[in-house]
Structure 1
Amino acid sequence: MEKIIIGIDPDIEKSGYCVLKVNTKEVETTAKSFHEIVERFRALSYDQNCRDVEITVVVEASWIKGKNNWHLCIRDTKNVIAAKGYSVGQNHQTGILICEMARSYGLKVVEHLPLFKCWKGKDRKITDEEIKCFMPIKGRTNQESRDAALLAWVFSGLPIRVKPVKC
């Protein structure tokens, strides 16, 4: 049976989207709008019903945490703080709706807490160079697609080398 994990890092404009074929370790990453993700769910639902494939959608569920990290600065005005809070709320709602849409198509959904940030990039996020040391990704990646790929990879249980070596 083919096992596919879809990793999603929800965002208002474009969410990070990764397809990981666990058996072959094939990885495809991109950024998709909410509408594009829902269209993919429709196609994946059809694949799941017609082929011998197990599909799991893993969504970074930052709304599960009681505490949010808004990256507030001491110089932020009330308007800036309100705008950041509004943006965080929109991201949370996008993630909740993505989970709801995946379930409506009969896909298995896992709401996963955000991964611990322990990398060399800005705000300790993973860089393109770091992720390519243990994951076969072709081409350039943006932060959202790397986060989605890392989420899918960690959920699959595949190994990660935390300290990058010469690739």
Structure 2
Amino acid sequence: MSKGYTHIIGIDPDSKASGCAILDLEKRELTLSTQPFFLLTVLLDDFRTSETVLKRKTLVVLENAYGTTHNWHYSPKDTRGTIAKKGYSIGLCAQTYNLLLSYTMQKGLDYIEQSPLVKLWRGTDRKITHEELVSYCKRNRITLHATNQMRSNQEERDAALLAIHHIATRPAVFP
């Protein structure tokens, strides 16, 4: 593992609490959680410190759903007030993403801004279900942490897919 990352942190930013998936590549174990912004900054600090002290290498994968226009979910039946409320909510999520991106850059962690992954699952709106995530982890020889084996929420599952998607990503090498 000396040439690659030891951990991948997938983050699905949200205004109140973001989905977070920590993939330990040496153990091939995935831990899921939902964290408010400030606890995510503490987590990123801890991983930055572990890079220095424990010689780990971490990749942060942030979902950037806000750089595209195709993620705007509205219905022709929505009122102007409903549309405004959805826009406000999306703006709050985008702000969380921007703050996390700035924080990650300021801490000097490697990061990737990942566009939303294609939704090809069986759940509502073609999102992944917990059962599909468990099966997907098994196919990729990844063990879900004991606290996550029975259930997970949608933000956690989306963050997990971000982390798993980048298993083969290697650090950039500069001469």
TM-score by length of 1: 0.89
What residue in structure 2 maps to residue 141 of structure 1? 152
SS in 2 for 1:100: helix
What residue in structure 2 maps to residue 165 of structure 1? none
SS in 2 for 1:30: strand
90, 93, 102: which one pairs with 1:91? 93
Matched, 1:28 2:31: yes
Deviations 1:59-85 (A, max 9, x none): 0011222x1323211211111111111
- Residue 143 of structure 1 and its aligned partner are, at CA, apart by 0.3
Matched, 1:71 2:73: yes
What residue in structure 2 maps to residue 7 of structure 1? 10
Matched residue count: 157
Which stretches in structure 1 are left out of the alignment for 5+ residues? 159-167
Which stretches in structure 2 are left out of the alignment for 5+ residues? 138-142, 170-175
- Residue 125 of structure 1 and its aligned partner are, at CA, apart by 0.2
Q: How does 1:97-136 map to 2 (within 5 A)?
A: 97-135=99-137, 136=143
- Residue 24 of structure 1 and its aligned partner are, at CA, apart by 2.3
What residue in structure 2 maps to residue 164 of structure 1? none
Letter in 2 for 1:145: E
Taking the aligned partners of 1:109 and 1:77, their CA distance within structure 2 comes to 38
Structure 1 vs Structure 2 CA RMSD: 1.4
Deviations 1:13-59 (A, max 9, x none): 11000100123211000100001000111111110111121101000
TM-score by length of 2: 0.85
Q: How does 1:45-84 map to 2 (within 5 A)?
A: 45-65=48-68, 67-84=69-86
Taking the aligned partners of 2:99 and 2:30, their CA distance within structure 1 comes to 24
